[in-house]
Amino acid sequence: MLFWVSVTGLVTSSIYCFMVMAASVRFGLRRKREQQSATQFLPPLSVLKPLHGIEEGMQRNLETFFEQDYPEFELLFCARQESDKGLQLARSVGEVYPHVRARYLTCGEPIPEFHNAKVFSLEKLDSAAGYDNFITSDADVRVGPHYLRHMAQYLRDPKVALASCVYLGTAHEGAGFASQLDAVGKSVEMTSGVLVADMLEGTKFALGATMAVRRQSFQDVGGFSELGQFYADDFVLGNRLAAQGKGVLLATHVIRLMVQNSPFALSFRNQLRWMQSTRRSRPWGHLGSGLTFSMPFGLMGLLWGLSTAHSELGLMLLGLAVVSRWLQAGSILLVLEDPEWLYSTLIYPLRDLLGSLLWIASYTGENFYYRGKVYRLKQGGMVESAD
């Protein structure tokens, strides 16, 4: 039984690997075409950035938004309280760029209906925005100077309601190995699933790290009070827009998602939170993703080989798993243009094993800890306070 479970898992994960490689080539060709196209559609933009507290590298993250090569845009920051350190940092950064129009808002503590505090901040930002074309982004996003120019192009077509980006997970200099594994997981594991899904059925979701989205799109899915009941509000927003027949696109522009230097236990807990959310938002897809991991099946094969005097065949099964993960990681990281793609590719088999453990753990509970409070995930991805 151990042998056949190993072989079955290695077959399914290898098929998935080839799908990822095909989707990477498809994405890379599309990205090359779009990079060569003109960026002449330059509508005024409101950039919405919810904030809560301060984290490593945040100053540089914010600076990259003030350094945009774009003719007309405004930056809007929102935190719960004026004393929020993230909001204070944004103000101090803004003083260095007086030519950039920026506003700093507070929204207070979320009302009971808003279990998602980020969406509560977005509602305040929406009410203050001067333009109808939005760019939203999280505090841990770092971008290049032409980011707004590239993202604005997806709003040229009036039928497009939203476009979101894949990202390159990036650990800060000197970060521990746990954070490096987290970063390569965000780059490879997340992007692999996104590119394959886009290739097979189109984009029926959104990635909330950054989005180009129309003001009306939030109202089309029920408004902020509706989205505020979900943990994965980005997925719900994109999924509902796609179900309505509105254009939801995967942008080819790649941003950096900065990963904090955290001890293993904290890093594991943070990643588990997202796995639990995915399990509730896409239960069948999440269940099937267990067959996309390779390393646990390779280790099963090795265990079978050592226990049955077929050690060489067991090593071959493990080697197949490792090579499969190297191929998957290399194809993704090269198309994302990761300057450290070789090192990240080499360590990805360990991340694949960790990902499988996170997948198993995602079925063990429904409560999670986030920013000082305990929440409970409900069916469909809705969230409520566990207090």
**Is residue 244 over pLDDT 80?**
yes
| pLDDT tens, residue by residue, 171-190 | 998 899 999 999 999 999 99
Lowest-confidence region among 43-47, 75-79, 221-225, 263-267: 263-267
Q: How far is CA 173 from CA 169, 209, 264, 316, 330, in A?
A: 13, 21, 17, 36, 22
What average pLDDT score do residues 258-280 get?
87
Asked, for residue 178, whether it belongs to a domain, the answer is: yes
Asked, for residue 136, whether it belongs to a domain, the answer is: yes
Asked, for residue 296, whether it belongs to a domain, the answer is: no
**Is residue 387 over pLDDT 70?**
no
Asked, for residue 182, whether it belongs to a domain, the answer is: yes
Asked, for residue 333, whether it belongs to a domain, the answer is: no
Residue 111 and residue 84 in contact, taking contact as beta carbons nearer than 8 Å: no
**Is residue 278 over pLDDT 90?**
no
What average pLDDT score do residues 184-202 get?
96
| pLDDT (0 to 100) of residue 82 | 96
**Is residue 12 over pLDDT 70?**
yes
The kind and range of the H/E element at 145 are none
Token readout for 64 is: 């990259």
**Is residue 378 over pLDDT 90?**
no
Residue 48 and residue 75 in contact, taking contact as beta carbons nearer than 8 Å: no
| pLDDT (0 to 100) of residue 312 | 95
| pLDDT (0 to 100) of residue 373 | 65
Q: What is the CATH number of the domain that holds 60?
A: 3.90.550.10
Q: What value does the mean pLDDT of the chain take? A: 93
Asked, for residue 24, whether it belongs to a domain, the answer is: no
| pLDDT (0 to 100) of residue 276 | 85
**Is residue 195 over pLDDT 90?**
yes
Q: Which residue range(s) make up the domain with 197?
A: 39-261
Which residue did the predictor score with more confidence, 284 or 23?
23
Q: How far is CA 302 from CA 147, 318, 322, 380, in A?
A: 46, 6, 12, 38
| pLDDT tens, residue by residue, 338-375 | 999 999 999 999 999 999 999 999 998 777 666 556 66
What average pLDDT score do residues 298-311 get?
95
Total domains in the fold of the chain:
1
Contacts of 336-343 spanning 24+ positions with Cβ under 8 A: 336/166, 336/168, 336/187, 336/191, 336/254, 337/168, 337/254, 338/168, 338/187
Asked, for residue 358, whether it belongs to a domain, the answer is: no
Asked, for residue 374, whether it belongs to a domain, the answer is: no
| pLDDT (0 to 100) of residue 112 | 72
**Is residue 19 over pLDDT 80?**
yes
| pLDDT (0 to 100) of residue 132 | 97
